[in-house]
Structure 1
Amino acid sequence: MTQKNAAATSRGASPSNNASACDVVVVGAGFAGLYQVHRLTKAGYKVRAFDKAPGVGGTWYWNRYPGARCDIESLTYSYSFDSDLQREWKWPQRYAEQPDILRYIEHVADRFDLRKHYSFGTSVESAVFDESAGRWKIRTSSGEEVSTQFFVMATGCLSKPLEPKFKGLEQFKGERYFTSRWPHEKVSFTGKRVGVIGTGSSSIQASPLIAKEAEKMFVFQRTPQFAIPAWNRAMSDEEMRSAQENYDEIRRLVRQSEVGIAYEGPTIGAKQADAEALEKQLDFAWKRGGYLMLASYPDLVTDLESNEIVSNWVKNKIRERIKDPKTADKLMPQYPMGAKRLCVDTNYFETFNRDNVTLVDLRESGIESFTAKGIRMEDGTEYELDAVVFATGFDAMTGALLAFDIKGRKGQSLRDKWQEGTKNYLGVTVSGFPNMFMITGPGSPSVLYNMVSSIEQNVDFVFDTIEHLRKNGYASIEAQEREENAWTKYVVWISKQTIYTKVKSWYTGGNVAGKPVGFMPYAGGGLTYFEYVRQVVEDGYRGFSLSA
């Protein structure tokens, strides 16, 4: 193929079938999808984008439960690609609530006129790579078939809810609610007996507000969690104005951080600190609050001894918030802090001081079955309930990627390829699946980094790669299997140097029955990852095969 013809192909030459044609198909209308569509369409690519939701927002469209908010501070849980956008948007709180985040995403969609590229209320049902044509055939829930050269999965790390599987659930006559797909209309729990199943981030945010309404609330806990106070507050006009004027410096500090959050901390480990310095540093981190407690010392995720020192200090702070010692015992986490996603709370532990709240420890007696009136425990205890809130989590990292049929070369499905683990290259590409990209997929920093910053880096890489192909006469790019194997082994090796592999969590897939267990994100830090990717590009896309 000549370079001229290859370039024509890369700009969406008509496919040899009756499918509608475009250059790129993007799946998802959250932070990742919108930014990807913006970068591509601004450069003149013909893009078709799809999302099953009726509008933009991604996970922030669906997660509307009481208290839903981000655990990264608003100022940096936002796009950095447009300085005017940064200067014009005002965040009302330190940690943005779901309605504010959704309004922000809607503002971005309108500001850059992105909705016109989307088919909302439309799911992708299959994606098959046609080797003879060198194009992807995408079939949607509307029956449409789209032929595209490039295929981008911007589906999010926490967007595939886990369906609760309890014996007798269909018998329950009361109300059922799911934190991952909360009703858009207001839900009232006034005068009701409410059961909350799960104690992850969603439950920790929702439970204090539900308890204020409910006549009685029962929290069914399997795993006690670490939660650090958010100390959330309103953002003053002066504070917001100062941030807008200094956003360049804020972003610079973010880019210098391994976790994508600006902070200053000691250079020595917790176990090297003397008692006075330790207490001073941890008290400072606690009062600062939020996810940065995990950054109070640089070795908390790599040294179990240092982690234990800080974990015990945090447990004591948690105990101070709970009046009943027996309840406090049940609420004490039994794993290294940070091995599971650290939660950020507002009055979660204080909620168990209320007379109308009961903690049900599933380690003492599990749920035997649902009944028409509520829940029966294995020890015979029954709880009569008017409503149940399921905060049962997600099939994280891979759930949305495997939610429909994706087939690459020789008809191999992505599900089959990942049957024993998530083999990939750089967390963005998979060998055998040419011109297919994942945004913040397994093997990238994703959930261990500021998600919006991680998304921007991945999207920029995908855009720059497509531009490189177009400008240099290439039609396709594909990860080499040898480099894919090496990267996958490297991701596993890095994870074993940390506390993350010490416990089953959604980081490892351990919360999903039958899912291959293995730590999925890249745990080597954002700076190391970004530099590695930069070097790959500088070396002429080392580890990739480029074809014309």
Structure 2
Amino acid sequence: MSADVSLGAARPSVGVHDLLIVGAGFAGMYMLHRARGLGLDATVLEAGDDVGGTWYWNRYPGARCDIESFEYSYAFDEALQQEWVWTERYAPQAEILRYAQHVADRFGLRRDIRFRTRVVSAHYDAAAQRWNVGTEAGDTLQARWVVMATGCLSAARVPELPGAADFRGRQLHTGRWPHEPVSFAGQRVGVIGTGSSGIQAIPVIAREAAQLVVFQRTPGYSLPAFNRPLPREALDEVKRDYPALRKRARESMAGVAGYPVPTRSAFDVDEAERDRIYETHWRAGRTSIGRSFTDLLTDAEANRTAADFVRAKIRASVADPGLAETLLPRHAIATKRVCLDSGYYETYNRDNVRLVDLRRTPIERLTPDGIRIAGEDIALDAIVYATGYDAMTGALLAMDIRGRDGLALREAWQAGPRTQLGLMTAGFPNLFFVTGPGSPSVLSNVIVCIEQHVDWIAGLLRALRSRGAGVVEPTLEAQDAWVAHVNALAARTLYMDADSWYLGANVPGKPRVFMPYVGGVGPYRRLCDQIAADGYPGFRFSAAGAPTELSADPSAVPPAVPPAVPPAVP
């Protein structure tokens, strides 16, 4: 980024940096790249021993992206996007990890990444205007600014089941999968959970294991991916159109150029036409069915037409009618994550696969030899937890983060996360979140949001230098206005009726607050751009090295209410 002016002064001594970045996934790597362009001394702290974030940790069987690979990629460098060759429509984990490693090598990022370094604390020193960041190894690093690039789905959640310590077989979590190959050949395997990772892993494990028992609490909607090799000529055609494709993605609701833009209500057409449209989305191999019509996420009756269509498809895929009914989701479609699969429902037609409905027969305990349900002992050699994550806030609150006057982030977010634009929280100066709660993040193609957030943070750091400032934080008034806006938009949708991880419903005791921003990627970007163009109203700036306030504008830009239709869940 040669156009960026240098923000760095003389190089700090060892352990003191301009910027510390926590996490070396796609967000952390791009933040490091932009920080270098700003002339900053920046270091990334990463718990793993390589880059990749989600795609470093999630190596379970069948793991792959559910955004088409040529869209689930960086757009910031034209040469990068032209030179990389994707081999499948939906890239598998190993290929995405290779892509992340290629980016790290191509831009020489590794020299500023400290691997095997887990951050456990971050405390703000107001007098020094610095953050003291502590690691699990006992080291302390200092920085003026800290960017949390910890990921929305990185804090793996393992349910606390009685007897877990007694089980003699192997226990694995999809989000913390071993790096060495895992063989289930000839084994009796139990999979607990049927969310995205479970839906991807179950068909693969079923083909290898002697017996597979799936423990399902809440069924979800999944559509066929129709994954296939990506011919070079098709990829070349995409690359020729990349500028227009990236522009459509940035301006879209879900950050996906390939998703259609609905213009009609579900009731503007008759049933036959409606089903024809749903069939088109089904055969497209995308999760875009929730964007078929303008009112699917705001009108329960309209939503039911799409949900019934998918439920009919599930019934047609499963030979046993009773089993099919157990697999049918009952919540409104797209109010929880819609998944893509490769033969998920058909897997239940196999003789070696059994489904256990945990709502009828809950797990009583793990035994040395398996799992006990309703008095029945199910013998297992291995248990796979596909139980998801403490989403969006889990990785942040696992650290002891303390801001001004020792305020703990856990205390500030006691009733749910509170941010300005999902980027910062009042009382925590110079601390930034990438795709944090209050931003589109998990309701979108997250790489589009990552690049927008990192670019916006980089612009704010430039604004700091131009003002002669060293400290920035949002005002409480602006933050309260944004939180109210986020909540008001969510309240207009069916999202609030579902017990989803968007609401934190999968974590006992977690405040039930809808965490992502439903207003859409394009409208959100325009709001952020307007705030920057107006000189960052709603943010308070302080001079470097001075406790007195340099400038402040307590007013927030009143957000223009985006369209009533929120984006579909990718």
Asked whether 1:431 is paired with 2:453, we answer: no
1:11 alignment partner, one of 8, 25, 35: 8
Change (3 A) 1:14 1:250: closer
39-48 or 430-439: bigger deviation: 39-48
For 2:328, the equivalent position in structure 1 comes to 332
1:231 alignment partner, one of 221, 226, 230: 226
Q: Is the 8 A contact 2:26 2:53 kept in 1?
A: yes
State the 1:186 CA deviation.
1.2
For 1:463, the equivalent position in structure 2 comes to 458
1:358 alignment partner, one of 354, 357, 374: 354
For 1:85, the equivalent position in structure 2 comes to 80
C-alpha separation in 1, matches of 2:19 and 2:362: 48
Q: Give TM-score scaled by structure 2 length.
A: 0.92
Q: Is the 8 A contact 1:424 1:431 kept in 2?
A: yes
1:345 alignment partner, one of 317, 338, 341: 341
For 1:411, the equivalent position in structure 2 comes to 406
Give the secondary-structure state (helix, strand or coil) at the position aligned to 1:272.
coil
Asked whether 1:119 is paired with 2:140, we answer: no
Asked whether 1:155 is paired with 2:133, we answer: no
Asked whether 1:41 is paired with 2:36, we answer: yes
Look up the equivalent residue of 2:441 and give its one-letter code. S
242-251 or 324-333: bigger deviation: 242-251
C-alpha separation in 1, matches of 2:514 and 2:219: 21
C-alpha separation in 2, matches of 1:266 and 1:150: 41
C-alpha separation in 1, matches of 2:342 and 2:275: 23
1:297 alignment partner, one of 282, 293, 296: 293
Asked whether 1:244 is paired with 2:272, we answer: no
Kindly report which structure 2 residues correspond to 1:50-449, keeping only aligned pairs within 5 A, or say none: 50-262=45-257, 263-377=259-373, 379-449=374-444
State the 1:370 CA deviation.
0.6
Q: Is the 8 A contact 2:194 2:219 kept in 1?
A: yes
Give the secondary-structure state (helix, strand or coil) at the position aligned to 1:334.
coil
Look up the equivalent residue of 2:148 and give its one-letter code. M
Percent pairwise identity: 47
State the 1:265 CA deviation.
4.4
For 2:516, the equivalent position in structure 1 comes to 521
State the 1:164 CA deviation.
2.3
Unmatched 5+ stretches in structure 1: 1-6
1:537 alignment partner, one of 518, 532, 535: 532
Aligned length: 538
Give the secondary-structure state (helix, strand or coil) at the position aligned to 2:423.
coil
C-alpha separation in 2, matches of 1:496 and 1:512: 21
Asked whether 1:476 is paired with 2:476, we answer: no
Q: Give TM-score scaled by structure 1 length.
A: 0.96
State the 1:142 CA deviation.
2.9
1:488-546 Cα offsets, whole Å, 9 max, x none, are 11111111111111011110011001111110000111111111111111221010011
C-alpha separation in 2, matches of 1:298 and 1:346: 28
Change (3 A) 1:258 1:192: same
C-alpha separation in 1, matches of 2:527 and 2:37: 27
C-alpha separation in 2, matches of 1:255 and 1:133: 38
1:408-427 Cα offsets, whole Å, 9 max, x none, are 00000001110111111000
1:438-496 Cα offsets, whole Å, 9 max, x none, are 00000000011110001000000111101111122111111000111111111111111
C-alpha separation in 1, matches of 2:382 and 2:409: 39
Give the secondary-structure state (helix, strand or coil) at the position aligned to 2:248.
helix
Look up the equivalent residue of 1:362 and give its one-letter code. L
1:315-338 Cα offsets, whole Å, 9 max, x none, are 101111111000000000010001
Q: Is the 8 A contact 1:19 1:147 kept in 2?
A: no
2:483 alignment partner, one of 470, 479, 488: 488
Q: Is the 8 A contact 1:474 1:546 kept in 2?
A: yes
For 1:504, the equivalent position in structure 2 comes to 499
C-alpha separation in 2, matches of 1:265 and 1:278: 16
